[in-house]
């Protein structure tokens, strides 16, 4: 049968609502790294991200300077900042 009409699920409705004019659309722009003297780490002169050695920072590094506009930013932050045993 092909006459079934699929309705939006609750989460799809929320996605549509949340994506309307709330945030700038995400775009990938690579970081502009500068070494931090005496610390042995680098930071981005554009967005201020410090290149720490953890999963959440890796996620932010891969997505560039506008990582906070990425649709998965909140969920990635929630996931990666939780201790491993709570995931």
Distance in Å, CB of 28 to Zn ion, minimum:
11
Closest by Cα among 76, 71, 66, 77 to 14: 71
Which residue's CB is nearer to Zn ion, number 46 or number 77? 46
Q: With b meaning 16 or more CB within 10 Å and e meaning fewer, what string describes 67-83?
A: beebeebeebeeebeee
Which residue's CB is nearer to Zn ion, number 23 or number 42? 42
Site residues (CB under 5 A) for Zn ion?
Answer: 31, 44, 46-47, 49, 65
Distance in Å, CB of 65 to Zn ion, minimum:
3
């Amino acid at each position: 049968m092909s006459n079934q009409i699929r309705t939006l699920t609750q989460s799809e409705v929320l996605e549509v609502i949340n994506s309307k004019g709330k945030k700038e659309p995400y775009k990938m722009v690579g970081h502009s790294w500068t070494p931090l003297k005496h610390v042995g780490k680098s930071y981005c002169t554009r967005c201020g991200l410090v290149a720490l050695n953890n999963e959440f920072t890796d996620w932010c590094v891969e997505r560039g300077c506008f990582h906070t506009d990425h649709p998965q930013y909140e969920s990635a932050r929630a996931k990666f900042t939780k201790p491993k045993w709570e995931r």
